């Protein structure tokens, strides 16, 4: 029996090229494509629309939009529109963003759990075709609905997945989300702790954690030469060591390494800074955090994530995208 696989795209390729990759992934049996809201360089919605327009069956998720910069009514309207383009194929993935990017644009990420609960609750109600009055600490809606005039008024089938790394956010996902997007650049062992938190939240809501979908982002560098694959992944790992140390801490990366890399780069970083800092990152860290090496090396690593609770790998390709898709077409976990 074959296992599911999904594709993850950020801003490394022109959108037209991404459209080709998504069509190819669909032809190879991939179940979903997830598009990042990439830093301040690429909004997720435009490429998601492009992918939806040239495919028929593959699901299309945001991986992930943030909960701070879009009003919940506008967020619901946006994903309702995407559902018009690809009915039943759209997934709203949402996360709490990260510093220093958020702070640099004037956003103080205070009370992210409260914000996320209010956003998910109100957006879900709007997508369910309800008239929403909600007066929270961060969300204020007064008799708001998606005011369809020229189309059928109906609930939209847009599941909401919470992108979570911290354990409190993971608990919240278990309590209120339709699914959780497990983060990348974490070790498989992190998943076990994350699933415990997910189960705790699910129990609080009278749910079974096994019923909550758990796709996981996995950086995947496939090359017939193992060293080449590791070197490609090393640059990605280095960038995140410097820019998103909260993810790295969750994975058990030594603080001493985080400090050393942080002295060389932060956000924004030049390519030269990333290359310089990458010389500090040993192979064992790259192997711990990514699925890198030959095709079989990559599949073996992804199996570890699946054994520890992920339901589907969302593969972030480094190098030859179609070769990576081929490596996971019809694979078995």
How do the pLDDT tens digits run along the chain, 333 residues long?
899 999 999 999 999 999 999 999 999 999 999 999 988 899 999 999 999 999 999 999 999 999 999 999 999 999 999 999 999 999 999 999 877 788 889 988 899 999 999 999 999 999 999 999 999 999 999 999 999 999 889 999 999 999 998 999 999 999 999 999 999 888 888 899 999 999 999 999 999 999 999 999 999 999 999 999 999 999 989 988 887 776 777 777 888 988 888 888 877 788 899 999 999 999 999 999 999 999 999 999 999 999 999 999 999 999 999 999 999 999 999
Exposure letters 281-309 (e unless 16+ CB within 10 A, then b): beeebbbbbbbbbebebbbebbbbbbebb
Q: Where are the alpha helices (DSSP H) in the chain?
A: 15-27, 45-53, 72-85, 101-104, 112-127, 167-176, 188-204, 226-243, 245-250, 255-262, 271-278, 283-289, 295-307, 321-328
Q: Tokens for 278, please give them.
A: 């990458």
**Domains and their CATH numbers in the chain:** 6-221+292-328 (3.20.20.30), 225-291 (no CATH)
State both tokens at 13.
């390729």
Residue 23's Cβ-count burial label (10 Å; 0-12, 13-18, 19+) is: middle
pTM: 0.93
């Amino acid at each position: 029996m074959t296992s599911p696989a999904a594709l993850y795209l950020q801003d490394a390729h022109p959108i037209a090229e991404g459209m080709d990759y998504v069509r190819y992934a669909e032809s190879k049996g991939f179940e979903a494509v997830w598009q990042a809201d990439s830093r301040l360089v690429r909004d997720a919605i435009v490429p998601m629309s492009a992918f939806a327009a040239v495919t028929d069956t593959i699901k299309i998720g945001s991986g992930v939009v943030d909960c701070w910069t879009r009003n919940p009514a506008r967020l619901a309207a946006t994903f309702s529109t995407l559902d018009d383009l690809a009915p039943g194929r759209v997934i709203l993935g949402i996360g709490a963003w990260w510093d220093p990017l958020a702070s640099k644009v004037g956003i103080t990420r205070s009370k992210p759990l409260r914000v996320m609960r209010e956003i998910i609750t109100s957006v879900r109600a709007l997508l369910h075709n309800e008239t929403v009055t909600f007066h929270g600490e961060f969300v204020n809606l007064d008799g708001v609905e998606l005011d369809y005039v020229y189309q059928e008024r109906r609930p939209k089938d847009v599941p909401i997945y919470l992108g979570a790394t911290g354990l409190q956010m993971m608990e919240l996902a278990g309590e209120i989300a339709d699914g959780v997007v497990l983060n990348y650049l974490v070790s498989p062992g992190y998943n076990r702790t994350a699933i415990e938190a997910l189960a705790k939240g699910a129990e609080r809501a009278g749910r079974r954690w096994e019923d909550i979908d758990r796709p996981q982002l996995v950086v995947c560098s496939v090359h017939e030469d193992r060293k080449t694959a590791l070197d490609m992944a090393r640059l990605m790992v280095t960038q995140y060591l410097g820019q998103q140390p909260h993810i790295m801490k969750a994975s058990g990366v030594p603080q001493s390494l985080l400090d050393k890399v942080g002295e060389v780069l932060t956000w924004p970083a030049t390519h030269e800074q990333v290359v310089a800092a990458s010389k500090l990152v040993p192979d064992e860290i790259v192997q711990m955090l990514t699925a890198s090496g030959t095709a079989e090396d990559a599949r073996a690593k992804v199996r570890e994530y699946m054994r520890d609770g992920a339901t589907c790998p969302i593969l972030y390709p480094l190098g030859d995208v179609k070769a990576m898709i081929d490596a996971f077409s019809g694979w078995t976990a």
